[in-house]
Amino acid sequence: MRTSPTVVDRGLSLLRRPLPRSTSRTPLVAGEVVPELAERLGRPLRVAVVRNDGIGDWILTLPVLTALDASEHVGTVTIVAPAGYRKLLAPSDRFAYLDFTEGTIIAPPAPGGTLGKVRAVAFPTGSSALASGALHRDEFDLVVLPRWDSDLGFNARAWAVGTDSPIVGQDPAAVPGTTGRERRESGLLDLAVHDPDAARHEVEHHQALLAALGLPTAVAQAFGSAFLGIEPAPAGVRDTVVVHASSNEPKRQWPIERWKELIGLMLERFDGQVLVIGSPADTESIHQIVSGFPERVEGAPGSIPLGDLPRTLAEKARLFVGNDSGPAHIAASVGVPVVVVSPHPLDGDATHRNSPSRFRPWGDAVRVVQPAHALGPCTDACTATSAHCIAQVTVADVATAVDSLV
């Protein structure tokens, strides 16, 4: 079963004005875009990659950035993303960075750029994003829109249209949960990559995009290590289990008392430390989790800036265990084995935005623990505003997944 548009989706679609786009554009040929465009211009390309999404979504986009950066036909790559991700995605001057965007209302990360998924709420008309993109007209030879699904309001697409540059992106006509008006915006793209399998993993959608761009499609297991220039410490040196027991959505929050019980089991079975991480907003819950344990268990709310998290995990973590959130994607991308607790039912809608089929961390050493079925009144996905379907996941379920990786 595919996701249908919600009432909010339909309302935003009606409010959104049509985006202006010239019809006299030179066609782009799938499989040859980057080399052919560079040959046409007689120089390496200036490419912008635009997403108005969360941390995990951007981590899954790193293979696209890596392939563009490695191409002899590309001169500069500019990341257009929420301001709070700058130190994570562009820690050096290898990539340019533009904050996305005057057309969104951003709830920024906690002070210091610490953990937590930024939630961006778009103005429904897209007019501000369109105007923001227009400020960068003539700066780019190509704009790439890697998100297979849509950000709220499709503002990434509006920003791209504002630049008046050639646009390559995933075909919105193939996206579940969108309205007819939104699907017709495929005409705004100079090349719409039609990948019809809605349940494919986001990285696999990116591979289809890379193929259309004429770039290599191979994706390494720990692709974040190479992108960020991080050399993971030997497995024998990493003795810490890192726990991220927080979530930006209550329905993704496995109960605190179960995290506490799981940590107790891990202390009995494994040597080494347990480090519970989170944002300053998680201070109280982290204190509840670590209280009563010996010194081997440490809480670190807000003490690891987002830009430092990949290296910290690569150097210390033998295992990462957490809710479905951005830090799990960061851990997997630098080669740390990951266990994720998900609220999405195993027999649920595989196209849903919470489906592990689409958005689990990438890698072979990843285990996702899910409830077998939704808990009524939920059906194809958890729609609750509190820990609901996820509460069916037991400590024994998660401990079994942990044992399989340690």
pTM of the model: 0.89
- Return the axis-axis angle of helices 283-290 and 256-269, rounded to nearest 10°: 40
| Predicted pLDDT of residue 231 | 85
262-269, long-range: CB within 8 Å, 24+ apart, which pairs? 262/321, 262/395, 262/398, 262/399, 262/402, 263/289, 263/293, 263/297, 264/293, 265/395, 265/399, 266/241, 266/399, 266/402, 267/293, 267/294, 267/296, 267/297, 269/403, 269/406
What phi and psi, each to the nearest 5 degrees, are found at residue 402? -60, -45
* Distance between CA atoms of residues 23 and 301, nearest Å: 52
CA separation for the pair 361, 182 (Å, rounded): 28
Q: Strand 142-145 and strand 273-278: pairing?
A: unpaired
Report the C-alpha gap between 336 and 53 in whole angstroms. Answer: 23
User: Where do we find the tokens 């499989």?
Assistant: 31
Cis peptide before 377 (omega within 30 of 0): yes
- The per-residue b/e assignment along 300-338, b for 16 or more CB within 10 angstroms, e otherwise, is bbbbbbbbebbbbbbebbbbbbbbbbbbbbbbbbbbbbb
Look at residue 151 in the predicted model and tell me its pLDDT: 57
CA-to-CA distance for 382 and 144, rounded, in angstroms? 32
CA 351 – CA 201 distance, rounded (Å): 10
pLDDT per residue rounded down to tens, the chain (406 residues) = 445 544 444 444 444 555 666 666 788 999 999 999 999 999 999 999 998 888 999 999 999 999 999 999 999 999 999 888 999 998 878 899 998 754 443 333 333 333 333 333 344 346 778 888 999 999 999 999 998 665 554 688 888 999 999 999 988 777 766 667 667 778 889 999 988 888 899 999 999 999 999 999 999 999 999 999 998 888 778 899 999 999 888 999 999 999 999 999 999 999 899 999 999 999 999 999 999 998 899 999 989 999 999 999 999 999 999 999 999 999 999 999 999 999 999 999 998 889 999 999 999 999 999 999 999 999 999 999 999 999 999 999 999 999 999 8
> Do 125 and 13 form a contact (C-beta atoms < 8 A)?
no
Q: Are 97 and 50 in contact (CB under 8 A)?
A: no
Structure confidence at residue 158 (pLDDT):
86
DSSP letters for 256-310: HHHHHHHHHHHHHH--SEEEEEE-GGGHHHHHHHHTTS-TTEEEEET-S-GGGHH
pLDDT on residue 97 = 95
Q: Residue 234 has which token pair?
A: 């030997």
Are 403 and 369 a contacting pair, CB within 8 Å?
no
Say if residues 143 and 167 touch (Cβ distance below 8 Å). Answer: yes
Residues sharing a CB contact under 8 Å with residue 284, sequence separation 6 or more, in sequence order: none
Reported residue count of the chain is 406
With contact defined as beta carbons under 8 Å apart, do 356 and 344 qualify? yes
Structure tokens, 241: 């289990």
Q: Which residues face 275 on adjacent strands?
A: 242, 298
Rg over CA atoms, the chain: 21
Q: Which residues contact 396 (CB under 8 A, 6 or more apart)?
A: none
Look at the block and give the residue holding tokens 């003490």. 303
Among 241, 9, 267, 21, residue whose Cα is nearest residue 134: 21
Contacts for 116 with CB less than 8 Å, ≥ 6 apart: 109, 110, 246, 248, 278, 279, 281, 326
The helix (run of H) or strand (run of E) holding residue 232 is none
Kindly state the DSSP code that residue 40 receives in the 8-state scheme.
H
